[in-house]
Amino acid sequence: MIAHYKANFFTEPLMVLAFICCCIIGLRYHRGERQRIIFLGYSFMGVLLAFLVTAVDYSHILPVRGKIMSEEILNTVFELVEFSCFYYFFRKCLENKKIHKISKAFLITLFVISAFFFTLLFWQEYTLDEIKEHSFFINVIELFFLAFLCLAYFYELFTTPPRINLFERPSFFITTSTFFYSVLLIPFFIIARDLWKQERPLFSTLFSCHYVLLSFVLLSISRAFLRKVPITT
């Protein structure tokens, strides 16, 4: 386990710690607000899935195929939970009805693609290489959808008269961290399959960036929990 953490510069336990902190702060300061509770659920799922993935990794019962299938199912479930949470977040932040419809189409598309992926997993001729490739493809799709919603937020923010100081808006910090998280990771996940096959050390190094960027997203959510104003302000 130490060797695994060392390969990604101990960024994975750092991310898990960020999830745990976000979950604890959310439990204390959710204030009954719907979006806070949704993000609390997101942080709880992050903690749960992190421990489940670790259990799968170090299982002595599952064969290699079973481990990879289980990991990719858990990863895809996390992506669905993540995008669903941000879907409701941006739906509350954004006023443009066209963007609402587009974001709903994104949500449905992601669920349909994921359902097709889950179905293929029961096909015995579905190779491990294909499983990884299609799992990374779902990553790219989700991150692209997230990046689009972030851009829609910035466009609306800077083209409407300001109602509150920019740095007093919790939604601004959440969106900014999410934008960098999605935009910077899209190129990595596009080439992730080839790196996973041919350059595993480099894959682990670059994947550590995923943990760091996600930790910043969680920190921005934790910061928003501590504010008294609505999280979508």
Domain holding 215: CATH number? Answer: 1.20.1070
User: Residue 7's domain spans which residues?
Assistant: 2-226
**Residue 194 has which token pair?**
């080839």
Average pLDDT over residues 1-13: 72
Average pLDDT over residues 178-190: 96
* pLDDT for the residue 65: 85
Residue 25 covered by a domain: yes
pLDDT in tens, 54-76: 888 877 788 888 888 999 999 99
Residue 26 covered by a domain: yes
In whole angstroms, how far apart are CA 171 and each of 174, 217, 227? 5, 11, 11
pTM of the model: 0.93
Residue 232 covered by a domain: no
Residue 87 covered by a domain: yes
Which of 7-11, 64-68, 71-75, 117-121 is predicted least confidently? 7-11
pLDDT in tens, 152-179: 999 999 898 877 888 889 999 999 999 9
* pLDDT for the residue 214: 97
Residue 233 covered by a domain: no
Residue 151 covered by a domain: yes
Residue 190 covered by a domain: yes
pLDDT > 70? residue 218: yes
Q: What percent of the chain has pLDDT over 70?
A: 96
Domain count, the chain: 1
Residue 231 covered by a domain: no
